[in-house]
Structure 1
């Protein structure tokens, strides 16, 4: 049986520092982050979609609004956990799963054009 997959990308700018890191990432620095949320289903819903892009975009906008142009280390839950790309991917996955009728199959967070981390259950 085949599988349908869709994805939505959004971007934001934010600073972070990685406590305990031995390199330059221990210093406060910024990134233009990109978040890509992917959804998969073996069958389409009643209007022939995996998930409505509109709902995904709105959920992403809400989450990004909490992080955009912020120091991530000061924003919950990253005030208690290093805001690594891995933890950001987990955060977006968990929050999108709570707010959408279809859970993401995978969330990727790009720290740069060449580096990313992902989270899935």
Structure 2
């Protein structure tokens, strides 16, 4: 099994609904996003997938979130824009674009600070 990872980032504001803590107040993060892609075999070019393609699709997904109030965006209208849900949303968006019979997005990690992150993956 091969695994590659790219790291990207975006800035976004949010507030957690019905949280009962200070994170209910409007605040922002400079999110660091890690995208992992896995597969069992390399192409004839010796690559699992071109890093440029993974970076391009990740940039598109993050541009929809960058410098936005996440609570107002469609993916988070009915769920809290928590680190967990942000990781899941990015995972689902990238899986639609990158997954094929040889390669799949295996997990996405959303870091909201240097010491706190959430990862979404599916078996």
Q: TM-score, normalised by structure 2?
A: 0.92
Moved more, 80-89 or 35-44: 35-44
Number of paired residues?
119
Whose strand fraction is larger, Structure 1's or Structure 2's? 2
Q: Is the 8 A contact 1:96 1:103 kept in 2?
A: no
For structure 1, the 5+ residue unaligned runs are none
- The counterpart of 2:26, out of the listed 28, 31, 39, is 28
Corresponding residue number in structure 1 for 2:84: 86
Q: Is the 8 A contact 2:83 2:117 kept in 1?
A: yes
Corresponding residue number in structure 2 for 1:114: 115
- The counterpart of 1:37, out of the listed 35, 38, 63, is 35
CA distance in 2, matches of 1:11, 1:68: 9
Answer yes or no: is 1:4 the counterpart of 2:2.
yes
Q: TM-score, normalised by structure 1?
A: 0.94
Corresponding residue number in structure 2 for 1:71: 69
CA distance in 1, matches of 2:91, 2:8: 14
For structure 2, the 5+ residue unaligned runs are none
Answer yes or no: is 1:13 the counterpart of 2:11.
yes
Q: Is the 8 A contact 2:70 2:76 kept in 1?
A: yes
Q: Secondary structure at the match of 2:88?
A: helix
Q: Is the 8 A contact 2:39 2:104 kept in 1?
A: no
**Regions of 4+ moved over 3 Å:** none
Answer yes or no: is 1:50 the counterpart of 2:48.
yes
